[in-house]
Structure 1
């Protein structure tokens, strides 16, 4: 299987796994003039953010590192936080969406255990895993890598920062490499996404060689 995500037409043999989470914080509504009498859900959310930042610091200084990645360690990221209705009302509900992008040596279950330890027994905080996908780790010497190298014309195997469905295919026993036109870091996930014509031509060349091989 060739997963056609943007790798600048180099064979990509690795990416991190991902787990997405939602933290739901339950407080108690009340007038802000009496705020200390109530549980502020945004304060609970702030505790979650502090725990996530502490875990990120631990990953950054841990022994689990892979220099082939743009960021050599597992990363923790909070993407959205919502809560509160008015300045003079103590918020009774807040939510944070956050994620873990992990190296194969850093498992999701271990992250969840460490997060629970950081938060402690704080009442009113619920953590739910909403989505996961496995990482990809292919040996540079694997035959599928040599085959894609011949098709794309590059022996510069890389690992990419973003995730793909490649891990699902490898779990099914299908040899898989990621290779496609474009650069996610420079051209993707922002306004005016684009592909260079030279990259499209290189991809056409790979597909022509693949079709000729299959026929």
Structure 2
């Protein structure tokens, strides 16, 4: 479906992460509500509902979050903000855990399985805090694809078909990544990437999307100048 709609990778990444972490957080909340509501009931009832919510949480993680864990990172300049946001949310959840456990102790300290109840609440509050922290970071649009800064798509237009190639955006040097200025718009691209392009196609600038202004049928190497 995403391929048919040509959904951008970063949009798919953020959507899947929000669904995954959001679903896991909701499952953790469900466990807390069930535990607090049924704290005086039989422990096996709490166990059954807790197992169901935990299973659903694992499903959300496997379907939406797990495959993206190695694909994203924090946007440059947002790392410290992301760390502060995560720590703030986790700290708030720690305070919430203390309040909730104190409340339960006051109303159900005599329950036979009270230690198991406290263990369940602690575990799922940890899961809830981590998922909520990641959900907040993703919701702030502070995540980017790891390879987003290494590659940029350049569109190559033929007379009959349109194709795409990759062109590097590495920092320019005087020896390896030599800059060439595109005639017309003035933006610079890597010399080696320009020389690899097919001679019978012309490119659109990856930055302003304008074609270099030279006569037709000239090779790509003539569309750029030394700088």
Q: Which structure shows the higher strand fraction?
A: 1
Q: Using structure 2 for the length normalisation, give the TM-score.
A: 0.26
Q: Which has the higher contact order (CA 8 A, sep 6+)?
A: 1
Q: Using structure 1 for the length normalisation, give the TM-score.
A: 0.27
Give the number of the structure whose alpha-carbon radius of gyration is greater.
2
Q: Which structure shows the higher helix fraction?
A: 2
